[in-house]
């Protein structure tokens, strides 16, 4: 796999603190916008089930679209001066998307915004690299760098390392997020995963590093249209961008906020207390509709539901830890019954408790 070093291969945005705080890119203000409708526009109500095309484009509203690669969704906004794309997703869908954009709009992709560095959403940018400027949160810089082989395991991973040899063997990976595809991840074939091999599972890939890194907020103006990038703190990752389309009143929340679905499985490498605070911040943004990276769009009420779900989860697990209960007892007793209507509740509820327990005992003061 090709590794990119953002520090070496791409210019980065630096500047005085005020400029860094609010980075505003004013590109040519275009006009004479003609609204282009796709012939296969399906509205917002389409699912992720079997029988649907592998790739698809759907109009959300006005000049704003979602595109899919099976269960993954990215977005793009068409302006008279070019296209602003969010998450190239992967190297299968990106060339297809480029062809579609050329055919349907005859406009180049001028910006690629990354939601975060994970390889299942941030790969494929090579299809747009000849015309686009890439933008992401500043924590993407470190997340795209492969750690040294002797980097210590993260605190949560050390909980799994029963024999304390600094590696996660297959038996130690059972029941963790490392269980699946273990042997493929063990690239040096020594029977255990080190920090670099664990990193590679989610971050190694063909991601083009950002040309521009921002810290708190950024704004792109192109062809008379505006897109805002908001950093709302750590959640599913520490480099997450909420993309806000103010005119359309829509936000893109990729993996950390999926309407009507709990966070996936053991909450991955997530930061659970910060995640709750991050959702509080999303509730403060001015929008009506959530377009996630998985599943169907939702509304602002789904942010509140997700925040309350995580708050209840954190409170219940923290209380259980204070009472001296172990993880298995908490998985059996914290049922979150008020949320049994959520998608994949049966799958995610026990694994969410498991993940919350591990994060609370390993990373955070309670
Ligand atoms: Zn992700």
Q: How far is the CA of 31 from the centre of ligand 1 (A)?
A: 36
Confidence of residue 266 (pLDDT cuts 50, 70, 90): confident
Q: Domain spanning 6-143+205-256: which CATH class is it, in words?
A: alpha beta
Percent of the chain past pLDDT 90, that is, above it, reads 79
Q: How far is the CA of 103 from the centre of ligand 1 (A)?
A: 30
Percent of the chain past pLDDT 70, that is, above it, reads 84
Predicted pLDDT of residue 15: 38
Question: Picking from 261-275, 287-301, 325-339, which range would have the lowest pLDDT averaged per residue?
Answer: 261-275
Asked whether the predicted pLDDT for residue 103 surpasses 60, the reply is yes
Q: How far is the CA of 108 from the centre of ligand 1 (A)?
A: 27
Q: How far is the CA of 123 from the centre of ligand 1 (A)?
A: 12
> Quick check: 118 and 141 in contact, CB under 8 A?
no
Q: How far is the CA of 121 from the centre of ligand 1 (A)?
A: 7
Q: How far is the CA of 168 from the centre of ligand 1 (A)?
A: 22
Q: DSSP of 155-196, one letter per residue?
A: HHHHHH-TT-SSSEEHHHHTTSTTSTTHHHH-TT-SSEE-HH
Q: How far is the CA of 256 from the centre of ligand 1 (A)?
A: 8
Q: How far is the CA of 267 from the centre of ligand 1 (A)?
A: 10
Predicted pLDDT of residue 21: 36
Confidence of residue 265 (pLDDT cuts 50, 70, 90): confident
Q: How far is the CA of 293 from the centre of ligand 1 (A)?
A: 9
Give pTM, 2 decimals.
0.85
Give me the residue spans of the domains in the chain.
6-143+205-256, 155-203, 304-362
pLDDT in tens, 40-58: 223 333 344 566 679 999 9
- Is residue 205 exposed (0-12), middle (13-18) or buried (19+ Cβ within 10 Å)? buried
Asked whether the predicted pLDDT for residue 320 surpasses 70, the reply is yes
């Amino acid at each position: 796999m090709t590794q990119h070093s953002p520090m070496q291969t791409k210019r980065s945005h630096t500047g005085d603190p005020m400029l860094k705080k609010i980075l505003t890119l004013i590109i040519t203000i275009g006009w004479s916008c003609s609204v282009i409708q796709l012939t296969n526009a399906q509205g917002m109500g389409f699912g992720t089930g079997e029988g649907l095309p592998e790739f698809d484009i759907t109009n959300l509203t006005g000049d704003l679209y979602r595109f899919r690669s099976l269960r993954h969704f990215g977005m793009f906004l068409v302006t008279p001066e070019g296209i602003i794309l969010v998450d190239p997703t992967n190297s299968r869908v990106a060339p297809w998307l480029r062809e579609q954009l050329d055919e349907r709009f005859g406009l180049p992709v001028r910006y690629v915004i990354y939601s975060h560095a994970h390889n299942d959403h941030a790969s494929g940018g090579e299809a747009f690299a000849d015309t686009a400027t890439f933008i992401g949160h500043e924590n993407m810089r470190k997340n795209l760098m492969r750690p040294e082989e002797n980097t210590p395991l993260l605190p949560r991973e050390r909980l799994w390392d029963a024999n304390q040899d600094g590696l996660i063997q297959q038996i130690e990976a059972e029941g963790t997020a490392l269980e699946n595809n273990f042997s493929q991840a063990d690239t040096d074939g020594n029977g255990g995963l080190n920090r670099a091999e664990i990193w590679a599972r989610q971050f190694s890939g063909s991601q083009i590093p950002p040309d521009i890194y921002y810290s708190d907020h950024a704004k792109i103006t192109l062809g008379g249209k505006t897109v805002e990038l908001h950093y709302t703190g750590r959640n599913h990752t520490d480099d997450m961008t909420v993309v806000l389309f103010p005119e359309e009143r829509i936000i893109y929340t990729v993996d950390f906020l999926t309407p009507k679905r709990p966070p996936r499985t053991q909450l991955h490498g997530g930061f659970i207390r910060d995640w709750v605070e991050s959702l509080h911040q999303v509730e403060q943004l001015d929008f009506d509709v959530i377009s996630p990276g998985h599943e169907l769009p939702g509304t602002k009420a789904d942010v509140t539901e997700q925040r309350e779900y995580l708050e209840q989860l954190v409170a219940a697990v923290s209380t259980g830890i204070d009472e001296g209960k172990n993880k298995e007892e908490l998985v059996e007793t914290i049922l979150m019954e008020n949320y049994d209507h959520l998608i994949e509740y049966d799958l995610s509820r026990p694994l969410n408790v498991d993940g919350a327990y591990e994060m609370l005992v390993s990373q955070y003061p309670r």
